[in-house]
Amino acid sequence: MATLNFTLMTFRQPPDFTGKKNWQKPITLHPQKRQLTLPLATNSPQPVEQKPIIELEFIGPKAGGDGKYPVDRVTESSGEKVLRSIMEDNKLELYAAYGKLMNCGGGGSCGTCIVEVIDGKDLLSERTNAELKYLKKKPESWRLACQTIVGNKENSGKVVIQRLPQWKK
Ligand code: FES
């Protein structure tokens, strides 16, 4: 354990062998040195292990009047959630009209939770069989949000996602 050493100086009056107190007598101070050792770690916070973090940017779904797409930013612990859950937790709309009504709830059996990975695809899980089935004829950058795990608990970085890429012109 780390310690902190310092010298404490105290002063005391020499003993009066007469037993009387003479308040007029000048006091001679005799410094005494004592070495103190205090443990440093008693109130020191223990180092906290930081979990790897993934930063996400969600673009869209539609451009505004100025032609710019709105961007929502979210951070998540690496490897803990799929994209669909992250979007739901942050109230980011994932589905187009049909998907809003008819999605399978994240089971990988409707193919309506499509997003496009603009950047950071290496930080995401591999395509699942459901994605291979529903996205067979779609661009390679498209993913099903309910199948895509963000991070692997060890990596960190930035992922950029286009919402509703099928609406992009
Ligand atoms: S929510 Fe149905 S496949 Fe993703």
> For residue range 105-143, what is the model confidence (pLDDT) as tens digits?
999 999 999 999 999 999 999 999 999 999 999 999 999
Q: What is the pLDDT of residue 20?
A: 58
Q: What is the pLDDT of residue 149?
A: 98
> Which tens digit of pLDDT belongs to each residue from 55-103?
999 999 988 999 999 999 999 999 999 999 999 999 999 999 999 999 9
Q: What is the pLDDT of residue 46?
A: 77
Percentage, residues of the chain above pLDDT 90: 65
Q: Is 108 in the pocket of ligand 1 (CB under 6 A)?
A: yes
Kind of pairing, strands 114-119 and 30-39? unpaired
Q: In ligand 1, which atom is closest to the CA atom of 104?
A: 2
Other CB atoms within a 10 A radius of the CB of residue 149 amount to: 18
Q: Do the beta carbons of residue 94 and residue 113 sit within 8 Å?
A: yes
Q: What is the pLDDT of residue 120?
A: 98
Q: Whose CA is nearest to atom 3 of ligand 1?
A: 108
On the question of pLDDT at 24 being above 80, the answer is: no
List all residues 6 or more positions away from 9 whose beta carbon is below 8 Å from its beta carbon. Answer: 31, 32, 33
List all residues 6 or more positions away from 106 whose beta carbon is below 8 Å from its beta carbon. Answer: 82, 84, 85, 113, 146
On the question of pLDDT at 165 being above 60, the answer is: yes
Q: Is 99 in the pocket of ligand 1 (CB under 6 A)?
A: no
Choose the residue to mutate in 93, 98, 102, 112 for probing ligand 1, maximizing ligand atoms within 8 Å of C-beta. 112
Please name the amino acid found at residue 24: Q
